[in-house]
Structure 1
């Protein structure tokens, strides 16, 4: 918080992840030390408030258009509440302002789970990160900062000297940690300068570089470094011998190196950053970050627009009908600039504001549809009961958290010569346990029939306004064709065609291989559907649920 108070525009801001409460209040109280006026905004603020627009009250009072200043018109500290809900449009606008010399952003991330977090476009631009999720009130105390010391540090900041090799060293550290953005080393450099200013020094020292790297790089790392990058072993050629009858020149006295040009070795800096890495970094990477980036593997339902409920969107011009809701303020803003002309054309003493059809603005909202996970389980062969037991447990575990994630589940089993819908989309845990109590097993592997049934359930779910995702659990290749005959080549060709249909319909899918060894055929089939492939031999219900949640980004 002291760094942010010293150089708010250089560090760009703070990503504060914590639920609203007394613990977070102790941190936000220290924001008063930032030498910028604070403006609090919400995730669905309009462009007129950010960039300036028509001042409705002043316009109606003056009878002429009066424009007001926007929040971003001057350097301010913008406090974004519920930052995890910020849409991409707002992130782009704030990101563009942060790239200049404008505001400082305090992003209050109140996300309840890993899937609710700050958008990368904003997180990449903020130097500092604080996570208070596991901090309790008894472990906290009020933040005390000396106003005179902070002001002295601000006055000292422009003259802080930076050794010439520090920017390149910070860039190397970012590369080793898998940080692709060049903003990270630039923000770390700004943090090192602010730390030096706080110490009362005139130049950046090793301790400033180490601390800045810990604060800026640790939460951005995408891989755990094993060792420092090797340095090139450059050996200088020995000087030629002096010619005969010539006195050798005396070597010049070595100039003492300036202390401020000496920097911390890469190895020590890397060890310091590794010590500050999140304890669950490897676990988060193994949970399926790459799978979440696959096509369609979204962690939430699809966004859809309406006029009744959801997150508010900017209003739009339109015609009133039975289902429309008028945006009164937006309508007045559209009508205000034309009042003088309309009074001259149609003078009416009984009307304060003249409204035309072209002024009407209608409210719009955006909501996330519910998601349905369609488990398509291979119930064939001798290991069918074990796979079905795993699927039962995974379905029950996922349903236990369905209310928070807006999830539904459905279960399709394929065996013998066809597939069967055993559980329609539901969020009822009681009904699910009753339906899963006894499931049939045994027979061939009609994989194409299972995919076809899953697609039918997906189409039905879309008709009810849900976003489907197909989860396929199997340990072998298809050997039963759609007509029920035991023809492996035909069955595999039909399974590939159904995989193409899954891809063509844009239905997200996940392929989970439960065989003892990864099956190349299933890997190829997953590629046909552009689906993540997860090999889970001998998986239990907990591992299966964790793998599905990781692939979906939950």
Structure 2
């Protein structure tokens, strides 16, 4: 494991200890990690009280098992309603491990968030196995967990020297974070640092304060020291940073040391001095890639968690991801949820006087709900005419290849349409074969007129065919927007422009999501007008290379 990896593992182990000392920190997001993740979970179990339980939340857990409800088996056996505690109540005082947190539905994340905000006290460890930067745990959950730690880029092969953490002092049942003293300057410093780093939530500095107090408690001290503040800012505030401090907020040069005669009597520095020291330490703790993205203005809000390029969500009554049950009548493709129906009827059996049998009324009936995600199809319509110029076409090919590779990773289908001369040609039907896609792209010729209307119509037809098969199409058009070949093959510019506009309006009316990349060296009004008619995002990229085009398309792909 690298030195950076050892530092991240040490931070994760220390965060686990802090959570065990103060469950009010909420818990942590653990991204990746492999064996290192297991060490962190073991460290958390060690720090929790011996009587505390650690519960693993099943991926498709229902509301009754999570939050509590009627114990159906006991209710049917006794003939009276019997309640049971949910998994979150059973974990009170312990921990809840949430696997595949990046796939957690917003509804389930909301239930967890409500439980964290409630009276129950448990540590939540969200295991994030996302690959792409945009694949994150739901915002509602991340907001309520103090620590976000990324172990995904390192492999652990042993307990290295950087993984040592202090041992907790003997537990005191009466201990609370408020018993750890601070002089008031700590809160001012943490809030100022959060503002300087572009953190727009009040929970972050509050979590940092609790973390500092827990660190002092972990070290057996009754007051917060500067090292606790530095630790809290590094573990809590640094991962949430969305911008770099402005020149006015940048840490100033440290003040000269006090005279030696007064060193022992020197009082704690002013709030500004404390802010400077902690802010400098926090900036030094930022990973290099995060620092570079913030400096370039490309850092995304980490609470945006849904991956790009996925198909739309659809309700289903027969298959897909279980979404719980709701009141309703079976039939018409809707299936009866027997257990939920019995659970709804159980509390009323005594009033209904059904001795020896279960009386079920119409209002008790529940039907099963599922959610499916349609397969996505990204359709590339590439202008291969002479007006695109060979250099621009090469850059467009590079961008398309990057997008093709990304679509392949997401298990989405891709298709490629090229238009040149007088017609449009489907070079690659919808496929997941990256090899075929690259071969078709490499063989894409250039030259001839710009039959833009034919290219747009071919793209629309392919999108409608994909939609008819239950897929979600997304259209990417790369062209300079200067049509000169009409739909019937005539080289009449006025007719070509009118036909292209009609084809663009048809795409817009059909509701196909699209992006229009104007790759002309000098973008004119033609491309913008076509994009407006298509109801597509217009991206003028006159001097963009393949990587810039790729990033632009990813930014506008459906989520």
Same-fold call, TM > 0.5?
yes
Matched, 1:91 2:106: no
**Larger Rg: 1 or 2?**
1
CA contact (8 A) 2:27 2:146 kept: yes
**CA shift in 2, pair 1:495/1:197, >3 Å:** farther
**1:44 corresponds to:** 60
CA contact (8 A) 2:539 2:552 kept: no
**1:192 corresponds to:** 212
Matched, 1:2 2:17: yes
Q: Shift of the alpha carbon at 1:377?
A: 1.0
Which secondary structure does the structure 1 equivalent of 2:223 belong to?
Answer: coil
Of stretches 464-473 and 91-100 in structure 1, the one that deviates more from structure 2 is 91-100
* Rounded Cα–Cα distance in structure 1 between residues aligned with 2:271 and 2:179: 18
* Rounded Cα–Cα distance in structure 2 between residues aligned with 1:79 and 1:223: 31
Q: Shift of the alpha carbon at 1:407?
A: 1.0
**2:310 corresponds to:** 300
Alignment deviations for residues 490-526 of structure 1 (CA, whole Å, 9 cap, x no partner):
7667766765665554433233343446667646765
Q: How does 1:378-417 map to 2 (within 5 A)?
A: 378-381=383-386, 383-392=388-397, 394-400=399-405, 402-417=407-422
* Rounded Cα–Cα distance in structure 2 between residues aligned with 1:128 and 1:271: 20
Q: Shift of the alpha carbon at 1:552?
A: 3.7
Which secondary structure does the structure 2 equivalent of 1:373 belong to?
Answer: strand
Q: Shift of the alpha carbon at 1:133?
A: 1.4
Matched, 1:57 2:73: yes
CA contact (8 A) 2:387 2:450 kept: no
CA contact (8 A) 1:166 1:263 kept: no
Q: How does 1:305-324 map to 2 (within 5 A)?
A: 305-321=315-331, 324=334
Matched, 1:269 2:282: no
CA contact (8 A) 2:142 2:303 kept: no
Q: Shift of the alpha carbon at 1:23?
A: 2.7
Selected match of 1:531 from 531, 534, 537: 537
Which secondary structure does the structure 1 equivalent of 2:175 belong to?
Answer: helix
Q: Shift of the alpha carbon at 1:221?
A: 1.5
CA contact (8 A) 1:8 1:34 kept: no
Which secondary structure does the structure 1 equivalent of 2:288 belong to?
Answer: coil
* Rounded Cα–Cα distance in structure 2 between residues aligned with 1:521 and 1:224: 39
CA contact (8 A) 2:167 2:219 kept: no
**1:223 corresponds to:** 243
Selected match of 1:113 from 132, 140, 151: 132
Selected match of 1:280 from 276, 289, 292: 289
* Rounded Cα–Cα distance in structure 2 between residues aligned with 1:22 and 1:138: 8
* Rounded Cα–Cα distance in structure 2 between residues aligned with 1:158 and 1:483: 79
Q: Shift of the alpha carbon at 1:398?
A: 4.4
* Rounded Cα–Cα distance in structure 2 between residues aligned with 1:151 and 1:534: 62
**2:146 corresponds to:** 127
Q: Shift of the alpha carbon at 1:369?
A: 1.2
**CA shift in 2, pair 1:135/1:501, >3 Å:** same
* Rounded Cα–Cα distance in structure 1 between residues aligned with 2:151 and 2:307: 29
Which secondary structure does the structure 1 equivalent of 2:171 belong to?
Answer: helix
**CA shift in 2, pair 1:22/1:325, >3 Å:** farther
* Rounded Cα–Cα distance in structure 1 between residues aligned with 2:513 and 2:170: 52
Q: Shift of the alpha carbon at 1:151?
A: 2.0
Matched, 1:22 2:35: yes
* Rounded Cα–Cα distance in structure 2 between residues aligned with 1:467 and 1:115: 20
* Rounded Cα–Cα distance in structure 2 between residues aligned with 1:269 and 1:500: 56
Of stretches 397-406 and 64-73 in structure 1, the one that deviates more from structure 2 is 397-406
Matched, 1:12 2:26: yes
**CA shift in 2, pair 1:421/1:85, >3 Å:** same
* Rounded Cα–Cα distance in structure 1 between residues aligned with 2:150 and 2:232: 17
TM-score, normalising length from structure 1?
A: 0.80
> How many residues are matched?
522
* Rounded Cα–Cα distance in structure 1 between residues aligned with 2:548 and 2:267: 57
* Rounded Cα–Cα distance in structure 2 between residues aligned with 1:120 and 1:324: 32
* Rounded Cα–Cα distance in structure 1 between residues aligned with 2:285 and 2:173: 26
* Rounded Cα–Cα distance in structure 2 between residues aligned with 1:423 and 1:144: 55
CA contact (8 A) 1:461 1:467 kept: yes
* Rounded Cα–Cα distance in structure 1 between residues aligned with 2:504 and 2:190: 46
**1:462 corresponds to:** 467
Unaligned segments of structure 2, at least 5 residues: 1-15, 253-264
Q: Shift of the alpha carbon at 1:475?
A: 3.9
CA contact (8 A) 1:444 1:479 kept: yes
**1:214 corresponds to:** 234
Q: Shift of the alpha carbon at 1:539?
A: 2.6
How much is the aligned-residue C-alpha RMSD, in angstroms?
4.0
Which secondary structure does the structure 2 equivalent of 1:509 belong to?
Answer: strand
Unaligned segments of structure 1, at least 5 residues: 233-255
Q: Shift of the alpha carbon at 1:408?
A: 0.9
CA contact (8 A) 1:7 1:154 kept: no
* Rounded Cα–Cα distance in structure 2 between residues aligned with 1:405 and 1:259: 54
Q: Shift of the alpha carbon at 1:333?
A: 1.2
* Rounded Cα–Cα distance in structure 2 between residues aligned with 1:140 and 1:356: 60
**1:245 corresponds to:** none
Alignment deviations for residues 519-545 of structure 1 (CA, whole Å, 9 cap, x no partner):
6764676577352626373634x6654
TM-score, normalising length from structure 2?
A: 0.79
Alignment deviations for residues 452-495 of structure 1 (CA, whole Å, 9 cap, x no partner):
43233222211111111111222454455656666767766776
* Rounded Cα–Cα distance in structure 1 between residues aligned with 2:468 and 2:186: 58
**1:158 corresponds to:** 178
Alignment deviations for residues 12-62 of structure 1 (CA, whole Å, 9 cap, x no partner):
11111126x433211111221234543332343333233321121221122
**CA shift in 2, pair 1:72/1:515, >3 Å:** same
**1:247 corresponds to:** none
* Rounded Cα–Cα distance in structure 2 between residues aligned with 1:502 and 1:75: 56
Which secondary structure does the structure 2 equivalent of 1:137 belong to?
Answer: coil
CA contact (8 A) 1:408 1:427 kept: yes
CA contact (8 A) 1:228 1:267 kept: no
